[in-house]
Structure 1
Amino acid sequence: MAAAADASAEAAAIARRLASCNAGARERTVRYLLSDFLPASAPRLSASDLLKLWKGLFFCFWHADKPLYQSSVATRLASAVSAAPSPVDGAAFLAAYLTTLRREWAHIDVHRLDKFYLLNRRFLHHAFLLLNSNSFAPDVTSQIVSVLSDKALLPEADNVAAGTSRGLGYHVAEAFLDELLPVLPVSLQTMDALLAPFFTVLEKSSDRVMVSKVKAGVFDRFLESGNQLLEKVKKGEEVEKGSAEEKLGKAGLLFGFSKRFLDIGAKAETVQSNRKVVFGLRDAFVKVEKGLELSGVEISEPKFEATEVPVVPNADCGMDLCEEKAGKKKKKAKKAALAEGEKEEAKLVKLERKVKKEKKEKKEKKKKKAVVVEDGHVSDQSIDVPAEDQQMGDGTDGITIDGTFLSNLQKQFEKAAAEAGMVNSGGSSSASQATPVNGKVAKKRKRSKSVDRLSEASDADDGGEVSEAATFSYSKRKCTKKGSSTRAHKRDPYTFEEG
């Protein structure tokens, strides 16, 4: 008695730790529960103690994130059914699970529904593994089937009215044959015990959705597999051993479903709205069974064969191992990303060097030849044009200064000088005395040349008054000594204005 009380108290403490917000604490508690506590204390735990544990386990699985870890936790929790000390303890753990999941099913949001579907499939799988390890003994089979019927497919009337268990029952009906296939074949008597809850649903359930799920997920699959098997046998084709066609097809042809459905439809207790479904199934199976009888083909009756069931993947993947695998994947992805980044950086460096080289070559090519006019003679000089003078403000190339451009510019100067009356005795404009280089005004003429020009103008008048062109004022502010050679040569000769 004291041992049972201690086990009950410890179960409550474990349940609190299972619902912890700390992932590490939850994982350590799950390991302790499955490896130490349950194997030693399962016989002393009552149904209420198991429900307390499952309250914590439900929230533990609720908080499990990432698919790999979810699969690991689901497999380890479900393995407590097949690895229980006795079939009774395994059935009790399964019953507590189904009761808890049925109670909480309505509160599971759409984002977490898939992982609870996975958990449910894992529990069905390990329930059948428990039966397989016990060679489908009638007492163990009836116990597991009774748990599935009472807690999922045909739960208590008050829970049905509240609508809290419908979703769990629908999923059990859909996943039942998928999880049963690995442990087939079984004898027809064992198949009858396994399918008993579904016959009861067709007889007593008023839930039309449940009836539809049972018809489509269980009996229609037996019918389809039976038809496929019969067609292949008639044609003499070989049927793959261990396939769904062989395992389910034999049961569909030899079980005698038509007679069983006829009996259900004839009962007075059968729900009236279900009779149409029942008789429809009966007619379909009659057609298949008569086809087998007329074909004269003999099909051997299925028998139970103790086979080793393949282990579900990730069964031994704890949180540490899963995180290690995920870490390796992350490191591999990080290395690949770094390598890709280094490649891109090398490409950028190479491109940058190429651009710099092109700019340097372009700068060297932009050493233009400018034409300089000196004393009426044209000469070529190689000069370096600054980068800021080679480009316009918008970054485009500027005007290229060559002989043609300078010749045109000289003609424009001469025309402008002629219009202003600034033509010397030689008939050429004063603009021809100097030519701008690179778009800039040429350097000032030497003092001696200005003096010579003034003296020539003076000699042309035979000692008379200085010519009008020579007496122009240099600016609006007149010089103190008009015509002084010293002041005159400090200004641009092309900016003369009349005094």
Structure 2
Amino acid sequence: MSDKPRVQQDLAQELAELLLTITSIPSSLSFLKGFWITTVREWNGIDRLRMDKYYMLVRRFVNASFRLLIRAQWDNSALQNYTSILTSEGGPLCPTDIRVPAGLTFHLAEIYLEELEKAVSASDSPVLTPILGLLSPFISLAAHTPMNTTYKHLEESLFRPLLAGLRSRTSNPARASGHEYPIVLSNACADAPDAGSPMAPSTLREAMLQKLFAIASAEDTRDSNRRKMYALYKTALEEDEDYVG
């Protein structure tokens, strides 16, 4: 990629837009899979002084991926294929692939909801967004990663901000800040976008906590991660009790 910022931005956008130019959803997702496999494989060889342009490229692909899924009306098969791409070997959220660079995983966690907010906001009409389905790769990674730093980053960059945003919208919707993904959380459901109407923030928060608890309770969850996920669940319940009290 060129060192000129505008050229970098234009090229990154053009590459990501190929996901939407391809007319077949399965073919688009195959292209996306190739992007992630290549990115994971080559990431550690990128010159650190040029890393910002590749962070931008990843951001553009994440955004285009969401717009592709929105165009597919969050088709269940497409969504499952998408999450599988992220979590399978060669994907950026695969917990068993030692080639996955932590920096790439961290970056993806940091921008994920931000780019989802942008993609949903750009839609011509309100989009019912299956937020828990989209989060499932991160929850799975949190359960299975052997890296304490990875778990900590997922909790601090993704789970806690989202739970806080849902709680804020529950306790005082008028004061919910722009950093809490207002468009996404106003049009969110758990896993089934054909449900017809958005879930109330309190209901969605409860569903997210139940999903965290269920995956933490799974037999194949790492014991150390299970304890951390239980602690997150317990803290969130205590916050809810304090609010009700």
- Partner Cα separation in structure 1 for residue 180 and residue 112 of structure 2: 17
1:153 to 93, 98, 111: 93
- Counterpart of 1:170 in structure 2 is 106
- Partner Cα separation in structure 1 for residue 227 and residue 13 of structure 2: 40
- Counterpart of 1:271 in structure 2 is 222
- Partner Cα separation in structure 2 for residue 268 and residue 100 of structure 1: 32
1:232 maps to 2:136: no
Code of the aligned partner of 1:178: E
Q: Secondary structure at the match of 1:268?
A: coil
Q: Secondary structure at the match of 1:152?
A: coil
1:201 to 121, 125, 141: 141
1:221 maps to 2:161: yes
1:81 maps to 2:19: yes
The answer to whether the 8 Å contact 1:124/1:176 transfers is: yes
| Structure 2 counterparts to residues 51-450 of structure 1, below 5 A | 61=1, 64-150=2-88, 151-154=91-94, 157=96, 159-160=97-98, 163-184=99-120, 187=128, 190-233=130-173, 237=174, 244-245=181-182, 247-248=184-185, 253-255=202-204, 256-290=207-241, 294=244
- Partner Cα separation in structure 2 for residue 169 and residue 78 of structure 1: 19
Code of the aligned partner of 1:219: F
Per the alignment, do residues 282 and 128 of structure 1 end up closer, same or farther by CA in structure 2, a change over 3 Å counting?
same
Per the alignment, do residues 246 and 290 of structure 1 end up closer, same or farther by CA in structure 2, a change over 3 Å counting?
farther
Code of the aligned partner of 1:207: M
- Counterpart of 1:425 in structure 2 is none
Deviation at 1:275, TM superposition (A): 2.2
Larger relative CO (CA 8 A, sep 6+): 1 or 2? 2
Give percent identity, aligned residues only. 25
Q: Secondary structure at the match of 1:106?
A: helix
Q: Secondary structure at the match of 2:92?
A: helix
Q: Secondary structure at the match of 1:269?
A: coil
The answer to whether the 8 Å contact 2:213/2:233 transfers is: yes
Per the alignment, do residues 243 and 102 of structure 1 end up closer, same or farther by CA in structure 2, a change over 3 Å counting?
closer
- Partner Cα separation in structure 2 for residue 202 and residue 271 of structure 1: 9
Deviation at 1:250, TM superposition (A): 7.9
- Partner Cα separation in structure 2 for residue 95 and residue 218 of structure 1: 23
- Partner Cα separation in structure 2 for residue 272 and residue 242 of structure 1: 33
Deviation at 1:99, TM superposition (A): 0.9
- Counterpart of 1:45 in structure 2 is none
The answer to whether the 8 Å contact 1:121/1:175 transfers is: yes
The TM-score with structure 2 as length reference comes to 0.80
Deviation at 1:145, TM superposition (A): 1.6
- Counterpart of 1:344 in structure 2 is none
Per the alignment, do residues 71 and 264 of structure 1 end up closer, same or farther by CA in structure 2, a change over 3 Å counting?
same
Per the alignment, do residues 205 and 128 of structure 1 end up closer, same or farther by CA in structure 2, a change over 3 Å counting?
same
The answer to whether the 8 Å contact 2:63/2:119 transfers is: no
Structure 2: 5+ residue runs without aligned partners? Answer: 121-125, 189-200
The answer to whether the 8 Å contact 1:223/1:249 transfers is: no
- Partner Cα separation in structure 2 for residue 231 and residue 246 of structure 1: 17
RMSD over aligned Cα, in angstroms? 2.7
Per the alignment, do residues 76 and 109 of structure 1 end up closer, same or farther by CA in structure 2, a change over 3 Å counting?
same
Code of the aligned partner of 1:262: F
Deviation at 1:258, TM superposition (A): 2.5
Higher Cα radius of gyration: 1
Per the alignment, do residues 288 and 137 of structure 1 end up closer, same or farther by CA in structure 2, a change over 3 Å counting?
farther
Per the alignment, do residues 136 and 112 of structure 1 end up closer, same or farther by CA in structure 2, a change over 3 Å counting?
same
More helix by share: 2
Per the alignment, do residues 80 and 287 of structure 1 end up closer, same or farther by CA in structure 2, a change over 3 Å counting?
same
The TM-score with structure 1 as length reference comes to 0.41
1:326-377, CA deviations, whole angstroms, 9 ceiling, x for partnerless residues? xxxxxxxxxxxxxxxxxxxxxxxxxxxxxxxxxxxxxxxxxxxxxxxxxxxx
